[in-house]
Structure 1
C-alpha cells in the first residue's frame, strides 16, 4: 500500500486531517495505494505558494532558463516513460502500449514548448501618428489552475503544464481523484529538473478540493479537461472572478464513410476511432455515418471485428482492450448500453459486461455496436465515454454534413473518401475543432486541438496553446517631447 503525497511549495504534504482516497486498479480491484483528499485549506496553501513563487522568482526568470528546465523535464519523462506507463495502466486500466506511448508524447510536448519559452515576442504597431511608438508585450497570466481528467493523465497534463510554464506562469495542478498516480509522481520529476519550489504545486482530492480550487480568488486563469457538467460549473465559477478559462470538454464525433472510400482502410479507421482506449477518449468516433450503398456490409463487418477484440489484463501485450477506468464510469456505460437496447436500436455486437473470463471486480464492457440508430436518440447525442459505437446511414453528402453537425458538440470528426474535392469541401463544412481525412486519432505536439459548442473553448497543443496562458499588454510611447493641450485656448474670465 503506497501512500502518495501532494506537492506544495516544493514539499511533499498530506491533506489536513490526513484524509485519504483509495487508488484502485480497475482490472482486478486491487487497492494498491492512497492519495490525499485535499481540503480548502490545502488548496489555499498551494495557491499562496504559487503566488509567492511567481512574485519572487518565476515571473523574472528569463525565457532561456525556463526553456532549459523544460528540456530537462522532457528528458526525465522520456527516460521514465516505461515506468510511468506501467503506473498509469495500473491506475486507469488503459493498455500499457498506449500509456507508454502517451508518456513519450508528453515528453515531446515539454520539449516542443521549451522552444517557445524564449520566443514570446510582442509586436511593433505602426500608428497613424508617427510621433507615437506603439508596441505590445506578451506576459504570463500569473497563477493558473490545471485540472485534468482520468482517461489520459500524463498527456492531458502535458497539454497544459508545458505551455503554462513556457509562458512564465506558476501552477496548481489537480488530477482526477480516479487517476492521480502519474501526476503526483511529477513532484519528483520537476524537482529533479530544477524548477524552483512553488512553481509547480499538486493537490489531490475529490469534489471539495476541486471546488475550492476553481473558486479560489487567488487564481489568474483556469485550464480544465473533463466532463461538460463540470466544465459548465467551472465556467460559472470563473465568471465570478473574471479569470480566463480554457475548457476541453466532451465530444460526440461523427466518423463519415463515403461510398468512394477505400473500404478496408475506412473499416480499420472506424474500429480505431471508437475502440482505441476503450472508447474512453473525448475524440472517440462514436457516431459512424455510413453511405447507404455500403451500410449493410459495414454493419456486418464491424460487428464481426468488434467480437474479435480481446479483453483482458491491460499490462499484457496480448490484450486488445482493458477495463473501464472506474466504477462510476462503468455504471454510466452499462446504463447507456441497456437504454440503447430498450430504445429499439439494433444490437450488432457486445452489450455484455463481466463474465467468468475476468476477475469478478474487473470493470469490463464488451465492445458494443448498435446499428439503425436515430441521430436524435441518446445513443447518438450523449457522450457515453466507453466502447459503444452507433451506426447511422445517410443518402447523400449533404445529409452526411447535416447529420454530423446535428450535435451539441463540436470537438472532432473524420471522413473517408478518395475524392480530394469532397474531402476539402466536407472538412470545411463540418463544425468541429479537428477534422481527420482518411485517418483518425492522429495527434502531435505541434497541432492545435480543441472544440467548439459544448466541446469547449480555447486550444491546447500547437503554438495556439500559449494564447491561453498569456495576456497582451499595449505600450504607447510619445516620441515628440510635447503634448497638445486641449485647454490652451481658454480665456480667463474676470470674476
Structure 2
C-alpha cells in the first residue's frame, strides 16, 4: 500500500475543540492554532488556542468530578472501565495510528506498533485499581485500645503536560494512573501534536468515562501550560519536556505546594566495548539515536566506542546510516519520518552546522529535498572523532544526530558517560556479563539497556536522575505517586 492509498480518518480536518466536563467547547478567546502535517508542511486541522479561562473551567470540572460520583466508584468498577477503554481503543487503533502519523510524522510502522504497548499499559493500570483505598493495619504503641490503619487516598486533580514526540504514549502516563486511582485529570498536549489525544478522549467518552474525569485543553505552553502549572486547584503536575520549562513549573508549583513528577531531557551514553557483537551493536546503537527521527528523550546520542574497534565501528555505522530510509510516514517503506516542525528542523540544522566545525562528518547532515522541500526532512547524521566537551556531545539536539566518542579503558568510559548534567538512560554493548553488571551499576541514569536499546515495559517503567527529572513513569511507583497515605486511629474503648 502506498501513502496515497492510506485511508485518511474522518476525524482529521476541521476545528477541534477542548474537552471540558464532558462537553466539546472552543477556547474562550475563540482563537485557534493550525495543526500541521510535518511531512507536507500543510495544515490538516485547527485546535483550540486555550488560555487561563479554559484551564479554570477544566480544573473546575475535574474538581467537581473528583468530589462527586466518581469518588464512590469501587476498584472493580474502575477496573472494568479501564478494560472497556482498552477494548474501544484497540478496535479503533488503525485510525489512531494514522492520526498520529499525520500529526507528528512518525512512520505508520512505529505508530501501528504502539497498539500492543497500549494494550499492555491499560491492562497494567487496570490491575492497579485496588491500590487506592487499600488499608493496612499498623501496629501502634498508644496506651489503651486503639486500632490504627493506613490508607492510600487519591491526591485529587492532576494536571498533565506532555510533549509532541509521542502523544499516544505520553497521554497514558496521565490518564492511566488517574483512572486507576480515582483521581481526575486535565491534560495539555503539545500544540504541535494534539489530534491523537483529542481522538482518544472521544473514544474514552464512548467507553463510558464519566464527564469531568478526563479533560483536554489544547494550546501553547506559555498560556495554557503555564496556567495549569500554577493553578491552585491542581494537586499534582506531571510534566515531560525541557529542563527550562520544568524549572518554571517547579517555581509555579510553590503556590499550593503541588506534587511534581518531571521527566526531562537526556544526553544518554551508549557504550560499545571491544568485545561487543558489532552485527548487533551497530544497528542497535544507530537506531538508539535515530528512532522517531531522534525525537526521543532517552536517545543514546553519545556513542562511546572502545578505541581498538572505533574505526571499524564508525565505518560500519556510517554505512548503516546511509541505508536508513527517510520519507512520509504514510509510506510503509519509511523507517524515519520528518521532524515535527520547521522550528525543530532549523534547530537540528544549527547543531549539524556546529558539529561540522567540531568533529568529522561521517554520514548525513543535509536537509532532504533541500530548502524547497515542503516537509521537514533531515538525513540521519553521524559525527566521529568527537570528545565530550563538544557542543554536540553536551546539548540535547532532539534530532537524528549521533556523536561517536572513543575511549581507552572501562573507567574512562564510565567517567565520560557520567560527565553530563543529565541522567535519564544509558546503554551497554558487551558479551561479558561482569562488564555489563559493573558498568550498569556505575552509570548514573534511571534506565540501562544491555545489548539492546529503548525497550520499555510499562509495568516496570522508567525515570531519571540529575537534571533529567524526578519521579517514575510506569510501575507501581507511578500509581503510588497519585496517592497519599492517610492514617486513621480508632479508639475501641
The answer on whether the counterparts of 1:103 and 1:155 sit within 8 Å (CA) in structure 2 is no
State how far apart, in whole Å, the 2-side matches of 1:341 and 1:476 are.
Answer: 67
Match of 2:25 in 1: 13
Match of 1:287 in 2: 302
The answer on whether the counterparts of 1:28 and 1:359 sit within 8 Å (CA) in structure 2 is no
The answer on whether the counterparts of 1:346 and 1:370 sit within 8 Å (CA) in structure 2 is yes
Distance 1:26 1:359, change over 3 A: farther
Match of 1:444 in 2: 457
State how far apart, in whole Å, the 1-side matches of 2:109 and 2:322 are.
Answer: 21
State how far apart, in whole Å, the 1-side matches of 2:351 and 2:466 are.
Answer: 23
Match of 2:166 in 1: 152
Match of 1:259 in 2: 274
Question: Of 118, 130, 141, which aligns to 2:130?
Answer: 118
Matched, 1:362 2:375: yes
Worse overlay, 101-110 or 305-314: 101-110
Q: How does 1:30-429 map onto structure 2 within 5 Å?
A: 30-120=42-132, 121-129=134-142, 131-206=145-220, 207-342=222-357, 344-355=358-369, 360-429=373-442
Q: Aligned to 2:473, what secondary structure does the other structure show?
A: coil
The answer on whether the counterparts of 1:38 and 1:204 sit within 8 Å (CA) in structure 2 is yes
1:124, CA displacement in angstroms? Answer: 2.1
Match of 2:4 in 1: none
1:239, CA displacement in angstroms? Answer: 2.1
CA RMSD of aligned residues (A): 1.4
State how far apart, in whole Å, the 1-side matches of 2:72 and 2:340 are.
Answer: 41
The answer on whether the counterparts of 1:266 and 1:416 sit within 8 Å (CA) in structure 2 is yes
1:34, CA displacement in angstroms? Answer: 0.2
Point out where structure 1 has 5 or more consecutive residues left out of the alignment.
Answer: 482-495
How high is the TM-score relative to the length of structure 1? Answer: 0.94
State how far apart, in whole Å, the 2-side matches of 1:350 and 1:283 are.
Answer: 21
State how far apart, in whole Å, the 1-side matches of 2:452 and 2:169 are.
Answer: 21
From the CA coordinates, give the structure whose radius of gyration is larger: 1
State how far apart, in whole Å, the 2-side matches of 1:317 and 1:24 are.
Answer: 21
The answer on whether the counterparts of 1:27 and 1:361 sit within 8 Å (CA) in structure 2 is yes
How high is the TM-score relative to the length of structure 2? Answer: 0.94
State how far apart, in whole Å, the 1-side matches of 2:160 and 2:115 are.
Answer: 18
State how far apart, in whole Å, the 2-side matches of 1:138 and 1:77 are.
Answer: 29
The answer on whether the counterparts of 1:278 and 1:386 sit within 8 Å (CA) in structure 2 is yes
Distance 1:199 1:359, change over 3 A: farther
